[in-house]
Structure 1
């Protein structure tokens, strides 16, 4: 198939493109910067420089590529982990998940795309206090105020993509990434790796919230399966071992040779205005993948982050 990947040089895209090319697909991959076209071409894709927030730029690139499938992997969450950079990245990511999604959908419809696959997130499943959420669960409707914009952007993306009637519309909720090219990898300059080694990522409260993790290669393989066999709706990309945040973070720190994370009271972080972070650390649910396994005939190469760390980081 001819496949257009928006965000081809990102964490998932850099693993997804080679997997698709190896399976015989013809891939066009976007980048925001002309300086990165060589990196996209090295992955096996034809590069396209696109401003995802400019509808004309998106429409022109999609029309030129004439794809059968469009894949939306756009975020702006990389870079230095400074407060200013994180805030800027979250704000831009929110726009990419709202305006960017709408631009890509319009361009895809104009050229008769038959499948549209987009990146969502498994961290914000509805806080019911129950077990890990299945693919039929919804995004949290009442998140803390400081993350309301980000969660609303996820809801917009999922509703817009799965609501189309002119093609198969698929949203994939990914668990927390680790592995080459992600923030948690063997690269000493990877953001999460560096912060863990500096002991700047504390466990908040008891760290009792539950996270689901996924190795980046498995995240890409779920996406390949969704492109080739998926039907309209939601799929989850996660391993088989959702676990308490505190446990995961202690294992992450050990895997990168860092001391154990510090612990900070939830009430103190809340007073600093980071109630969303408190929520993630204390109330997150994790996800299951029964539908994904059944409909996509998929299973993770790394079924547990426990067994994969630290070897899976490189």
Structure 2
């Protein structure tokens, strides 16, 4: 197929494009800067410079590419994590998940693109009632990440309504995905908050890319949790990450102190977060993970 990857130069796009090419697909991948065109071409794709927040730029790029499927991987997450100011940190990503999604869907409709896949998120942001592990039938927490939660809801509603698929990826790790977090861990600036009982789900970039290829080839529709087999509380995965990174164990900070220092989002993630189940993706897409657990993946990546 002719596959248009919006955000092909991003951390996941750089793992996804080669997998699509290896499967025989013709890939057109976008970047916001011509300076990255060479890197995209070395991955095996045709590079297209596009501004995902400009409807005209998006429409022109999609019309030129004439794809069979659009894969929306546009985000703007870089630099030191700033969970305390989550809305500010994610401001451009939230726009890409709302305005950018709308621009891509409009371009798909205008050019007759029959299938659409978009990047969602499901790590610790399941609704904070009931059990610790959620399926696709459970809603996301509407207040977990401030404006980010509204942006994700907009993306999911728009894409599913258009007959596409939303892949709710867990927290990424792998080449280039967790460098900033690991640096904080090594500096002991990433503590366990409270009892650390909040759950998170992880996924290696290569496994996330593999699931995306399957969603393209199966012309998947609906919502899928793309995460590994082992949702786990912060008190387990964070000390293990520190150990794998050769760092001292993370400090422990009480909730009352963490709230003003790190913000409510960090407290919620660490103490009340809900992880997710991948049973649907494995069943309906035939997805098999190279890294079934973050335990194996963290150890290999940080060896």
TM-score for the superposition, normalised by structure 2: 0.95
Note if 1:134 corresponds to 2:129: no
Structure 2 residue 250 is matched with structure 1 residue 255: no
**SS of residue matched to 2:5:** strand
- One of 222, 225, 235 as aligned partner of 2:224: 235
Match of 2:191 in 1: 202
Kindly indicate whether residue 171 of structure 2 is the aligned counterpart of residue 176 of structure 1: yes
The aligned residue for residue 278 of structure 1 is: 267
Unaligned runs of 5+ in 1: 184-189
What corresponds to 1:114 in structure 2? Answer: 114
* 1:6-21 map, 5 Å: 6-21=6-21
Moved more, 292-301 or 58-67: 292-301
C-alpha distance 271-133 of structure 1, shift in aligned 2 (>3 A): same
Aligned residue-pair number: 302
Whole-Å separation in 1 of the counterparts to 2:16 and 2:299: 22
Report the counterpart of residue 158 of structure 1 in structure 2: 156
For residues 139 and 83 of structure 2, the distance between their equivalents in structure 1, rounded to whole angstroms, comes to: 29
Displacement of 1:153: 0.5
Q: Give the equivalent residue in structure 1 for 2:67.
A: 67
What's the CA shift for 1:252?
Answer: 0.8
- In structure 2, relative to structure 1, the CA distance for the partners of 1:137 and 1:229 (3 Å cut) is same
Give distance in 1, aligned partners of 2:47 and 2:80: 25
The structure-2 alpha-carbon separation of the partners of 1:264 and 1:13, relative to structure 1 and needing over 3 Å to count, comes to same
Distance 1:117 1:73 in 2: 9
TM-score normalised by structure 1 residue count: 0.92
- Rounded Cα–Cα distance in structure 1 between residues aligned with 2:132 and 2:89: 31
Q: Give the Cα–Cα distance (whole angstroms) in 2 for the partners of residues 112 and 120 of structure 1.
A: 23
CA distance in structure 2 between the partners assigned to 1:84 and 1:289 by the alignment: 29
